[in-house]
Amino acid sequence: MKRNLTTIATVVMMVLSLSSFANEKVSPMKDYATRNIVSNYIDASLLGKQSFVKEMLTDNFEFVNAATNSKATKKEYGKFLENTNNLTYSCTSSYEILDQSGDIAVAKVTMKFENFTRVDIVNMSNTADGWKINRVISNFL
């Protein structure tokens, strides 16, 4: 009986100690700076590179097309990006961080196509999982 009790106590201690080593899921973009987030956004939007798309957008993400006044959620925009996977647009792009103060940042992404220019204003916030995009306002010139 004493041997069974010792065995049970040992098993319980092993289970408790092993479960304390379980790792929490860490965002692969946790240590990214705002410029890395914007660069990843450009890669996803223009080059069809879909790495970390879900991780770079907040759960309440909103994409606004100012020309048509239409909006898309994280799920809808993610699906659009999935449909353009590995599709590369023929344009030149540039970006600049317009403002960054505290946990909020705003960037401007300019994409020059042959017949028009697309300008995206990218709003970002610093969350517990690192910098994430919470809103993009896209306009065509």
What is the value of pTM for the model shown? 0.77
Residue 127, exposed/middle/buried by CB under 10 A (0-12, 13-18, 19+)?
A: middle
How far does CA 87 lie from the centroid of its chain?
A: 19
Convert the pLDDT of each residue in 79-131 to its tens digit. 888 888 778 888 999 999 999 999 999 999 999 999 999 999 999 999 998 99
Coil, strand or helix at 136? strand
pLDDT score for 68? 93
Main-chain phi, psi angles of 55, to 5 degrees: -75, -25
Amino acid making up residue 108 = K
Between CA 113 and CA 91 the distance in angstroms is 5
> Cα 94 from chain centroid?
19
Residue 90 bridge partners (DSSP): none
SS3 string, 12-29, reads HHHHHHHHCCCCCCCCCC
Give residue 37's Cα distance to chain centre: 7
The pair of structure tokens assigned to 89 is 């647009």
Per-residue pLDDT tens digits for 44-91: 888 878 777 888 899 999 999 999 999 999 999 988 888 887 788 889
- CA distance linking residue 31 with residue 45, whole number of Å: 22
Q: Which residue has the tokens 């759960």?
A: 59
What CATH number is given for 33-140 in this structure? 3.10.450.50
pLDDT band at 29 (very low <50, low <70, confident <90, very high): low
Report whether 63 contacts 77 (CB < 8 A).
yes
